[in-house]
Chains A and B, each alone.
Chain A
Amino acid sequence: MRVPLSWLRDYVDVDVSPEALAERLTLLGMEVQGIEHRGADWQRIVVGELLTVEPHPGSDHLLVTTVRTSPQEPVLTVLTGASNVAAGQHVPVAVPGAVLPGGRRIEVTRMAGRESQGMLCSGDELGLTTDADGILILPADAPVGVAMTDLFGDVVLDIDVKPNRGDALSLIGLAREVAAATGARVRWPEIVLGESEPPTESHVSVEVEDAVLCPRFVARYVGGVRVGPSSLRVQARLTAAGVRPVSNVVDASNYVMLELGKPTHTFDADRITDGRIVVRLARPGERLETLDHVLRDLTPETLLIADSAGPLSIAGVMGGASSEVGAATTAVVIESAVFDPVTIRRAAHHHALRSEASLRFEKGQESRLARIGANRVAQLIQAWAGGQIAAGCADTNPVEPEPSRLPFRPWRVSSLLGADVPVAEMRALLQRVEVQTEPAGRGDVVPVAAGFPGVVLGAADAARALVAIVPPHRRDLEIEADVTEEVARVMGYDRVPGRLPETPMPEYRPDPRRTVDAARDALAGRGLDEVVTHALVGPVDHERLGMPADDPATIRVTNPLSIDHSQVRRSLLPGLVRVLVENERQRRSDVSLFEVGHVHRLVDGVPAERPMLGVLLGGDQSGAAWNQAARPADLWEVRGLVMALCARVGAAPPSAARPDSFGPFEHPGRTAVLHVEVDGGACELGRAFELHPSYLEAVEARSGHVAVALLDLDVLQSAIPAVRRYVPFPRVPAVERDLAIVVGDGTLAGDVDRVIRESTAPLLRGLRLFDVYAGAPLAPGERSLAFRLTLQAAERTLTDEEIDATVARVVDALAARLGARIRS
């Protein structure tokens, strides 16, 4: 809320600097987010008196004026394009050398052949009012020659009023806070009405259909008004507070909203059929043209102010055009009501019409203010627009609620804060926010958690407990902890000491990030850069992965900021690829990335997310240099990385197999599915692959080969044995045998590997593929796979016979199961 200090001073004395006041309000919970010095940027703009105003002989839209800005200085000749000026008026004059808000300099200029020695200013040019069409006409008593800053400068505090403090969305509410901070007294405006017969009830009646939706409705009638602009002082105050001045009647309503926090509405009384107002929900098919001249369909949840002819306004949100107060209005009906906050909030959201008024209604309204607000608006209308206030008012619920009683235990206040606050001090602190206290009685109930049963005080506790008498404007004080906060914020949080907890430590809990962090360290240690990409991606990202835009397993954002971020990612791949492409545009050809993040999908209609690790390699992987050749990003590179990180986190290396099917982004000849052993069974860890050339083209990647691994971190975690045991290694020498095995088309290295392992157990200690060869003299399609077998028995040296027999067994098995032969 924007608070002009000159206005605030109507209700409370402020004898400290704006900066000091801002600091104290902030420390009280009314955070001052900005201090605006209005008028500080009006340089050499003074009050001038127009001596003459005449048409410009050479122009049909310019006027030539002469202005006196001081008895000593010569009279200035100033040209203006505005038409609202007349001799004798006092106006703001920017004399040569002046600077306007925004830095615009005013110098002597020539217009249509005549010299202009400065400029007459509009209210808008000074930021003082919002009128940009005419010159700002100052009050006749504005002293000539005085700087405008001295007359109309002000300081405006921008205060962030929290949602629970609707009462402080007003000058009077913030005056109460200033008083709490400084000990000053709050001055309410004096509301005295001169009323006239006939009474209000002869002009207007009010019927409320559902008192839950409208607990109170107060109406008043003011006849004989003359609608026109408000005084400059009122306009300047409203403008400084961020509300656009409209007319004296509408301004009176807005002024009271800012002053008391009470939104009201004014109707042209002659447009209310028979003077009969009904507060009701909209009926099917009803429509209303609102003040902004939009014809709106009204839903049956919309609360209306209506007459027998139909809707007049959307309650608490916006008035209707048909009953708008305008220049021809001579009598007004003032509405000052309390509405159900949720109903108003929904209507404002539904019609996208959130206003200063609806914002205040949403936070709940003090019943008492309905009557006070109606009276205050009537008073100001009469003062500003003349007319007669009809005697009395229509009031659907003329009962003023009692202050509420809130029993609390001072020792619990101290124990929550961890600071001993003496009871007497506590009572004094509460008094500063208009909360009186009295002794509690046996059986009083302390509200601990709203919506749950409270604590009934026994005799002993009752003797030490207090009851806070909560004033009606503090609807946010409901439970004991609320009292604690009032005590703390008025006392000042510097009284809460800092100390480290002495309560027992929690049980040990393994860090769920341990494996992830080990994997991250391993990959960064191998030269990869960690990235964090958006969890929200576009439909095209998923379509490229083979998931249609309307895929039933995809979770979509219903109110996305843009189509590019409208779906929750199902894979880390699109984000990684985007980083690759963006960096390729920066001429990088050595990209190696990884990301740890969640991927999402719907399983049986319920969101399911899994932590994944994505690795992407594009371009040179070695860091080519004068002494090192470039190494391409390929399947082997990424598989090697996966093996290294598995070893680092303590999992066995995954096995690779050719998958049964491929995504459209996977190179069908260069995709492996990776399995790890979990509880004795094979579990899919993820996939390692090179990107399909068509995919690379679609995403406009420059790299010809990009290798990727996408791993499920939960599977990786479960593949790590709970305990790692040392295995004794044999002290007897091992024997190595090399076998070059020729296989035909379709036989995979993994198949050969498996057959060797199965036919040599338990003597095999190591197995390493050290060469792959194809070409003459082998037949086309044949490959020679050279393996080195390391054979060893646990406790003795193998004999030549045993070794030969083992090798023979391998050769036979390879021949029998894979049709392989040994290359001699």
Chain B
Amino acid sequence: MDLDTLSARLSTLEQAGLDAIRAASSPEALEAVQVAYLGRRGELKTVLGGIGALPAPDRPQVGAIGNAVREALEAALEIRRRELQTAALDARLARETVDVTLPGRPFRSGSLHPLIETNREIARIFGQFGFVVYEGPEVESDARNFQALNIPPDHPARDLWDTLYVDVPGYLLRTHTSPGQIHVMQQTAPPIRALLPGRCFRYEAVDASHGFEFFQVEGLMVDEGTTMADLRGLLDAFAQAMFGRGRPTRFRPGYYPFTEPSVAFDVQCVVCNGVGCPSCKRTGWMTILGAGMVHPVVLRNGGLDPERYQGFAFGLGTDRIAILRYGIDDIRMFLENDLRFLEQFS
């Protein structure tokens, strides 16, 4: 074996290796090529095994050639490996391509009932002004629903509330949230800023704007020096929050036995903006709530001295606010719970 022969064999080996690497079409085949040429018993080792037969001065030269062949093969292996990886990735991506316009997995979106959410919104607005929520019972005593509110038995003002009575002496289904005023005054010392949302009942035939069950929110503020101007300012703030900035409002006289003076709070019609339309009976105004300064007798019944304390109360119909807020034209929708209605409030 001489130098030239060995060199020629290494050269042939290199060429064959490079061909095999280029021909390998999978990572496994490439691995086999690597083992075959560069492995412990690979071709390169075998050829270089003949180096011992060479004269000593020639050996370093052959060793250098051998290293060059190894490096060339390793470089080719690396390039081929990358090529195969890229091809495999491309194949996978192609395989995984889908119709992206197919609908997503249907997570169901639930809904919150517009009446309860309207109550929550009302509480959120008044909460900014320090009003906190209290709760009162639905089955209420006549004493608190009427008598403590300055409405004695057989008083003509009782005609304002068509009452549903129950078979428990002295009790009825509360006709308004106003008895909450008494509950709050009896359990809390002024300063009082209270909000009482709740379900109310009336003996009333059901139609598009009436129901025998409905929701109200009562407001009560009592302190030394609370005035009707405070009431006006708060209700204006509420109207702006609920119906948008700049909407005109007005007080006009009203009547409730438990407030004196009593007012109705009107907001410019949200349908016609004051021009006059069937929704506002052509007056340009919509009555949002009733209010007034807490009657001195009611303060007394709540355990407070009317010479020291003044207060106001208001009662607003959740249904009415919700109707205006969402443009609902039939109050019966609220308790019918048709999913086609409810799902619009998700």
Contact = CB atoms under 8 A, between A and B. Distances in A.
Contact of B137 (A484, A506, A607): A607
A501 B168 contact: no
A548 B124 CA distance: 42
A494 B228 CA distance: 12
Contacts of B289: none
Centre residue among B129, B134, B283 by max chain A CB count within 10 A? B283
B212 A416 contact: no
Given A493-B251, A504-B223, 4 more contacts: A29-B254, A164-B255, A418-B230, A506-B191
Contacts of A605: 168
B171 to A, nearest CB: 6
B260 interface: yes
Interface residues of A, number: 105
A132 interface: no
B133 interface: yes
B130 A512 contact: no
A455 interface: yes
A526 B109 CA distance: 7
Nearest to A29: B253
Contact of A496 (B159, B232, B237): B232
11 contacts: A31-B252, A489-B253, A506-B188, A506-B192, A529-B342, A530-B342, A531-B337, A555-B171, A556-B166, A557-B173, A607-B139
Contact of A534 (B233, B235, B335, B343): B335
Interface string B211-236: 01100000001011111111011111
Nearest to A500: B233
Given A33-B281, A501-B234, A163 B110 contact: no
Nearest to A514: B133
B221 A501 contact: yes
Interface string A564-598: 01001000000000010011001010111100111
Interface string A787-814: 0000000000000000000000000000
Contacts of B113: 530-532
Contact of B307 (A448, A484, A528, A559): A448
A410 to B, nearest CB: 15
A481 interface: yes
Given A416-B228, A493-B253, A560 B164 contact: yes
B139 A163 contact: no
B326 to A, nearest CB: 15
Contacts of B8: none
A600 to B, nearest CB: 6
A642 to B, nearest CB: 15
A625 interface: yes
A565 B212 contact: yes
A621 B322 CA distance: 30
Contact of A582 (B109, B155, B157, B338): B338
Contact of A528 (B110, B115, B251, B263): B110
Interface of A: 23, 26-29, 31, 33-34, 162-166, 341-342, 345-346, 362-363, 415-419, 448-452, 455, 479-482, 484-485, 488-489, 493-494, 496-501, 503-506, 509, 511-513, 517, 520-521, 523-536, 555-561, 565, 568, 579, 582-583, 586, 588, 590-593, 596-598, 600, 602, 605-607, 609, 622-628
Secondary structure type dominating chain B contacts: mixed
B142 to A, nearest CB: 12
B47 interface: no
A530 B112 contact: yes
B263 to A, nearest CB: 6
A449 B296 contact: yes
A535 B174 CA distance: 12
Given A417-B228, A493-B253, A498-B232, A561 B205 contact: yes
A531 B293 contact: no
Given A33-B281, A451-B297, A505-B130, A588 B112 contact: no
B166 A582 contact: no
Nearest to B154: A342
A163 B111 contact: no
Given A506-B130, A532-B116, A532-B337, A627 B105 contact: yes
Contacts of A417: 227-229, 261
Contact of A416 (B133, B281, B297, B310): B310
B232 to A, nearest CB: 4
A29 to B, nearest CB: 3
- Chain B: number of interface residues, binned into ranges: 35 or more
Interface in B79-124: 102-103, 105-113, 115-116, 120, 123
A500 B237 contact: yes
A709 to B, nearest CB: 15
Interface string B117-159: 0001001000001101111011100000000000000111101
Contact of B106 (A485, A500, A505, A625): A625
B225 A626 contact: no
A28 B108 contact: no
Interface in B287-306: 293, 295-297, 299-300, 306
Given A529-B343, A605-B168, A418 B227 contact: yes
Given A501-B226, A609-B139, A626-B103, A27 B252 contact: yes
B110 A527 contact: yes
Contacts of A520: 112, 116
A563 B34 CA distance: 91
B166 A555 contact: yes
B281 A511 contact: no
B5 interface: no
A527 B109 contact: yes
A500 B234 contact: yes
Interface in B183-208: 188, 191-193, 199, 201, 203-206
A196 B336 CA distance: 70
A529 B165 contact: no
A481 B294 CA distance: 10
* Shortest beta-carbon contacts, A-B, top 7: A418-B229, A418-B227, A527-B108, A29-B253, A485-B261, A493-B251, A162-B255
B340 interface: yes
B127 to A, nearest CB: 8
Given A415-B310, A498-B229, A512-B135, A602 B201 contact: no
B28 interface: no
Query: Looking at B160, B164, B225, which has the most chain A CB atoms within 10 Å of its CB?
Result: B164
Given A27-B252, A342-B154, A596-B116, A484 B261 contact: yes
The listed residue with most A CB atoms (<10 A of its CB), out of B109, B115, B227, B336, is B227
Contact of B132 (A341, A511, A527): A511
Nearest to B301: A449
Contact of B160 (A163, A489, A592): A163
B177 interface: no
Interface in B160-176: 160, 164-168, 171, 173
Contacts of A524: 110-112, 346
